[in-house]
Amino acid sequence: MKGKIRFFLPILLLFIGIGAFTYHKPNEDWPEYLGGLDRNHFSTLNQITLQNASQLKLAWTYSMPDSGQMQSNPLVVKGILYGISSTVQAFALDAATGKEIWRFGDPLKHWSATSRGVSFWTDGKEKRILFTAGANLWALDAETGKPKADFGDHGKVDLHTGLPPIAQDKFILSNTPGTIFENLIIMPVRLSEGADAAPGDIRAFNVRTGKLVWTFHTIPYPGEYGYDTWPKDAYKNDYVGAANNWAGMSVDPKRGILFVPTGSAGYDFWGGNREGKNLFANCLIALNIRNGKRLWHFQTTHHDLWDRDLPAPPNLITITRHGKKIDAVAQITKQGYVFVFDRVTGKPLFPIIERKVSTEALPSEKPWKTQPMPVMPAPFARQSDQLKITDINPFSKNPAALKKAIEQMKRGWYYPPTETGTMILPGFDGGGEWGGAGADPEKGIIYINSNEMARTQTMKKEVVGKPKGAMGLYQTYCASCHGENLQGNPTSGYPALKQIYKIRNKAFIQTMISQGKGMMPGFPQLSPEIKDQISSMLMKETTNEKDVVFDQPKNLIPYKMTGYIKFLDSTGLPGISPPWATLNAIDLNTGKYLWKIPFGDEPELAKRGIHDTGAESYGGPIITENGLLIIGAAKDGKLRIYNRHTGKLIFQTQLPAAAFATPSTYMVNGKQYIIIACGGTKLGVPKGNVYVAYALP
């Protein structure tokens, strides 16, 4: 008998070994922003299926004392969930129950921006959480939530570190988690969108010490590639800035390549003082992640005058072309295009043409004569030049006025800004937006939720001379968002300020001017006198405005946009015809669409029984290997699950508040969960303060 045991034991071990080698265990964690360094929002978990997803139930909730917009994509590592609140407090929860383990942050001091989450680092022994609050990058002990004293200045590093002296007093923070690779964290930053913007240098810090490791100049220095695409010495001038990455980055760890999408140069809408193509604004840049050296780049908008930032990290996927597998990088855009490149060489995998555009422009402005357009895939959002006068909302009560407005505006593709008005479609937010695209990385299929909200772009000549007291200062710094008469633009998320004196005090307003709040950038460079004048006016205090004048800023822009105005009908509904948002599945092996459907319901029309109009959305989808597309994001506040192969809706449930965030999925103790942050607030919907987790019964 013993001999038989000895005989079968090697065979048994062989089968065990083969099983261990061939069985693919799903990754139970969600350890990176958007699921992984490839930013594909992809999971191999398969407990929730096409057949049982309709049985999902609420598993647990986590509420916070603060409420407001939350964009966080929470991380889960070994049963611990790490997230962030609307007032930028980092926290850790038991991922199976939602019970709080720790929370870090000062809600009274660091409420000045929304955040999309935290970063996780470990060397196998020590574990750290890194996140930003205000201008500071913090490193916390992942187990206790206490700052790591050996990181920077007692746990924090000022994000001005490494920027030139001219930028040290300028607005800077980060909405998006830093990208972790080995012992580096590479930081996205949000800057002013005006002429006062800091330069958008890409910087890597040591995750243990906080020390600066390398810098890539997005506004090149003398002798650097791209220097001649700007006016001389643009890098050190006080009237040109930005070209920053704010949306996050992707990494090919095997090759050590960092993929960085950048935004526009400041000022966003007039570039007469930055003649040229303006590299490396509006670029997808491939860098050596260990030293920051450029490998290749592609610019998706030349000399941007339309705020066409690259809005999300690119997707790293593998496609098949002529029977050969190619590692690719796919970048979605606000303007509704997908650019696809060979990951190593930067060679476009679909033809890209330089299409001629109008150069009719404001005085002293020199628009670029062509703009890049991929031949395939077809755009996933309608374009301005495709909009007809008859393409108006069929449910509108003022169709004649809408037709007249469309007829009077310029509607050309990449038409330069004008004083009479230009139609921008997709709008300034996209098209594609910061929620990003999901993808099946091996099959080469990408899934995009797209907005189709038209906006108008109207420029106004600035009065040359000195601002006229408090109202003149308000017009200079605040009116483009909050309206020339303090009326606000609630549908775009910019509140009215006419009665702010009834609910806030002067100190609050001055802090808000300095630090910013939500989408609003801060103005730390303004003098105390300017802040006092604006806040006194808003508080309706008696001031001798006529006697108060201030020197014109040296970085004066002669034309400014009058506001981020949506093209709406008389009732606040979109002015153009639906759909106002879509979900799109594109096979990047062929460049062809697998399906395209309206996404979400416009709440006011849904009350009248009108569905499938599409509704504005912010936040991305989860894609699962076994066929699910899971998404919140829409204005109507629902969590939806689709069959990703067909686009068929298989489950939906009403959330406690709209979830303008990307969900995560993970497994703990043998149970798969879906978690999403419900903060509401944006697009005029009610506030929320809860993370909700769903699981099968």
| Domain end marker among 509, 529, 551 | 551
Q: What local confidence, expressed as pLDDT, does residue 338 receive?
A: 98
| Domain end marker among 282, 313, 344 | 313
Task: Look up residue 171 and give its DSSP letter.
Answer: -
Does residue 287 sit within a domain? yes
Number of domains present in the structure of the chain: 3
Q: Are strands 622-624 and 42-43 parallel, antiparallel or unpaired?
A: parallel
Q: If residue 11 lies in a helix (H) or strand (E), which one and from where to where?
A: helix 2-22
Q: Which positions of the chain have pLDDT values less than 50?
A: 1-25, 544, 546-547
Same domain, 188 and 293: yes
Q: What local confidence, expressed as pLDDT, does residue 480 receive?
A: 67
Does residue 330 sit within a domain? no
Does residue 624 sit within a domain? no
Could you tell me the CA-to-CA distances from 56 to 52, 80, 599, 646, 693 in Å, in that order? 8, 22, 21, 21, 10
Angle, helices 528-538/469-477, rounded to nearest 10 degrees: 100
List the structure tokens of 396. 């509108």
Closest CA to 566 of 644, 682, 456: 456
Does residue 476 sit within a domain? yes
- Residue 519 sits in a domain whose CATH number is 1.10.760.10
Same domain, 151 and 179: no
Same domain, 193 and 241: yes
Sign (positive or negative) of CA dihedral 357, 363, 364, 365? negative
Q: Which residues partner with 209 through β-bridges?
A: none
Cα–Cα distance between 305 and 664 in angstroms, integer? 35
Q: Which amino acid does the sequence have at 46?
A: N
With left for phi above 0 and alpha for psi between -120 and 50, is residue 465 left, alpha or beta? left
Rounded to an integer, what is the distance from CA 521 to the centroid of its chain? 15
Does residue 577 sit within a domain? no
- Residue 229 sits in a domain whose CATH number is 2.40.10.480
- Residue 97 sits in a domain whose CATH number is 2.40.10
Does residue 103 sit within a domain? yes
Same domain, 106 and 180: no
Same domain, 307 and 180: yes
Q: Which residues partner with 84 through β-bridges?
A: 90
pTM above the 0.85 mark? Answer: yes
| Residues of the domain holding 471 | 466-551
Q: If residue 259 lies in a helix (H) or strand (E), which one and from where to where?
A: strand 257-261
List the structure tokens of 226. 């791209």
Same domain, 192 and 261: yes
Same domain, 179 and 286: yes
Same domain, 270 and 177: yes
| Domain end marker among 498, 521, 551 | 551
Does residue 295 sit within a domain? yes
Same domain, 306 and 255: yes
Same domain, 154 and 221: no
Same domain, 178 and 131: no
Q: What local confidence, expressed as pLDDT, does residue 557 receive?
A: 87
Q: What local confidence, expressed as pLDDT, does residue 564 receive?
A: 92
Q: What local confidence, expressed as pLDDT, does residue 552 receive?
A: 54
Q: What local confidence, expressed as pLDDT, does residue 115 receive?
A: 94
Q: What local confidence, expressed as pLDDT, does residue 136 receive?
A: 95
Does residue 244 sit within a domain? yes
Same domain, 183 and 152: no
Q: Which residues partner with 199 through β-bridges?
A: 242
